[in-house]
Amino acid sequence: MERALNLPDLVEALGVHQPGVLPSPQELASLIADVEIRAFRGDFAVDETLERAAWYLHAVASASEAAELYTPARQRRAFAVSAHVFDLTLADPRHDARQRLNLAFGAQVGYRRADLDPNATAVYRRVSDLLVDNTPLVDHAETLAVEAGVAFLGLDTRFLFPLLRSWRRQLTELAATVELDDLQSTMFGPAQQIVRAVWSLLRFLAFGTGRQLPVARAALLSVLDGTAGTGDLDARWVAAHLLAIADGLESGSLYSILPPGTPNAVAQAFCLADPPVLTLWPPQRELLARPGMNPLDPATRRLLLSVPTSAGKTLLAQLIICTHVATQPGGVCYVTPLRSLGREMRKALSGRLRVLNRELSEDSDLFDILSFSQDSTDVEVTTPERLMHLLRHDADAVMQRFSLFVIDEAHLLAQPGRGFTVEGLLAYLMAAADNPRIVLLSGVLGNAASLASWLDAERPEVLFTSDWRG
């Protein structure tokens, strides 16, 4: 909310326009604030002036001439503000199903093109009940293209794969009914091509099959140039945005981002296991694209990641762990002081490690020091206290077993009591003759630069920070 009401952002998004046609930045901020306040009271009605301004901003950012007329920053601001308004408008009970689908797709496009990907997924969840697979296509042909766009931008493979299979089957059956090989010459042509493009884009992201991307682009272009049929303006709108987003998907795919030589199984462990992850968020992509001190490079011996909560550091930890066990000798010890975080990490890693044919230690009580497993499993999830206990008991065995230590919630160093345990643990690991890899994760760290200097005084790039929030 505070970002949507930021006046400089609204000024940049609206730019110069004729007074009276659209609200001024101050008026726009007032309209958004009014909707936000009334929403707390359960009144979700949105002023028509505000909705009209949102569609204007969406058009400004989407226009093919936008790159020449407007700065990239203004385009992102316009997408972000319009998406937020569409998001609010979704709750307005005056809108029917078709209008809600259009608002949802507009919001998703705005969020994704403004680098606010998690918001796009949240919008999908709010309208997933409008995506139908048990109703004949002829009963929702006019919304099929937008439904496909909304479903794809949700990137929920557990729902998306069965939904697309159902639609593809129905389209094939419909073509057979009218004795056609394809529906391009019918009113269903544009929607069929959108479904075909979404299916190819999904297969590209989930399986890394590069040949699917040109297929998707060709299908989308056929809608834009009229080859697939004319008259479905919603389909052309969806095709234009999916084509623009597809270019970013190529560089954001896990199969593209992972370092050369990384087994495909690592990407599959995230794209196919539960919970599925098909693309990465901006700070994650930025970190993995760094030429030096890449967290997936075994030559990176020390690293401190300090990013806000909801910026995806837990997923980064999973990616680092899985890449390490798939490519390097020795296991990984993930250390967290929080029971909930340990359980969350165990749940996410279990499916991913199965894809890699690696083992996760038994699910013992994270706070029971004596229950620390001493087997040869590839990944252990534990607490600082339990790890310190084992180091005192048999340090050689610990160092022989683990070649990477991932320590979460590193800001605990600043706390009395427990901070001393974490500091002692780090000091021991850094001085160990085995020179294990050490990755520290923190959402809030006031002395990040000092801690990074302690880890490696010679290389400032040991610290990675970002102020991005999902």
Task: Identify the residue with better confidence: 50 or 398.
Answer: 398
Instruction: Kindly state the average pLDDT of the residues 368-373.
Output: 52
pLDDT digits (tens, 9 = 90+) for 71-107: 788 888 889 989 999 998 998 888 999 999 999 999 9
φ, ψ (nearest 5 deg) of residue 379: -130, 135
Report the distance separating Cα 189 and Cα 225, nearest Å: 12
357 Cβ contact list (under 8 Å, min separation 6):
none
Residue 427 has pLDDT above 80, yes or no: yes
Report the distance separating Cα 250 and Cα 399, nearest Å: 39
Structure tokens at 372: 């620390």
Q: What is the pLDDT of residue 69?
A: 67
Q: Which of 241, 272, 270 is nearest to 257 (CA)?
A: 270
Q: What is the pLDDT of residue 132?
A: 80
Cβ-in-10-Å burial (0-12, 13-18, 19+) of 357 comes to exposed
**What's at 73, amino acid-wise?**
A
Report the distance separating Cα 322 and Cα 357, nearest Å: 11
The whole model's pTM is what?
A: 0.88
Distances (CA, A) of 59 to 50, 102, 241: 14, 14, 11
Q: Where are the alpha helices (DSSP H) in 360-417?
A: 384-401
Contact 208, 253 (CB under 8 A): yes
467 Cβ contact list (under 8 Å, min separation 6):
308
Task: Identify the residue with better confidence: 163 or 40.
Answer: 163
Length of the chain: 470
Residue 262: Cβ within 10 Å count: 17
Contact 466, 289 (CB under 8 A): no
Phi-psi region of 237 (alpha: psi -120 to 50; beta: other; left: phi over 0): alpha
Least confident piece of the model among 58-62, 132-136, 177-181, 366-370: 366-370
Average pLDDT of the chain to the nearest whole number? 87
pLDDT digits (tens, 9 = 90+) for 251-269: 788 998 888 889 999 999 9
Residue 206 has pLDDT above 60, yes or no: yes
Least confident piece of the model among 17-21, 263-267, 403-407: 17-21
